[in-house]
Amino acid sequence: MRTLRRMQPLFVLLALLFMALLLRSQWEELQTHQWQLNPRWLVASAGLLVAAWAVEIVVWLRLLRTVGGRLGYWPGARIWFLSAIVRYIPGNVWQPLSMTLLCQRRGVKPEATVTSILLYQVIILLAVTPIAALYFGATGNWGLLTDLLSGFGPWLIGIGLAPLAAFLVRPALLIDVVNWVLRRFGRAPLETGFARGELLVILALAVADWVLWGASFCALAFGLNVYSAPEMLALAPHLIAVYSVAYAIGLVSLLTPSGLGVREGAFYLLLAPIMGGGTVTVVALAMRIWTMVGEAIAAGVSLLLPDRLPAVDPDPVAADNDLREGIA
Taking only the tens place, the pLDDT of each residue in 207-236 is: 999 999 999 999 999 999 888 999 999 999
33: phi then psi, degrees, rounded to nearest 5: -75, 145
**Rounded (5°) CA angle 6-12-18:** 140
- What is the reported pTM? 0.82
Determine the Cα–Cα distance for residues 300 and 2; give it in Å rounded to an integer: 32
Estimate to the nearest angstrom the gap between the alpha carbon of 65 and the chain centroid: 21
Q: What's residue 237's pLDDT?
A: 96
* Distance from chain centroid for Cα 85: 13
Return the amino acid letter for 135: Y
Low-confidence stretches of the chain (pLDDT beneath 70): 1-35, 88-92, 190-193, 254-259, 308-328
Query: What's residue 323's pLDDT?
Result: 46
Q: Report d(CA 82, CA 120) in Å as an integer.
A: 17
Q: What does the pLDDT read at residue 33? A: 61
Q: Are 48 and 238 in contact (CB under 8 A)?
A: no
- CA–CA dist 116, 95 (Å, integer): 13
* Of 70, 69, 111, 113, nearest in space to 95 by CA: 113
Q: How far apart are CA 261 and CA 270, in angstroms?
A: 14
193 three-class SS? coil
- The Cα 99–Cα 110 span in angstroms is 9
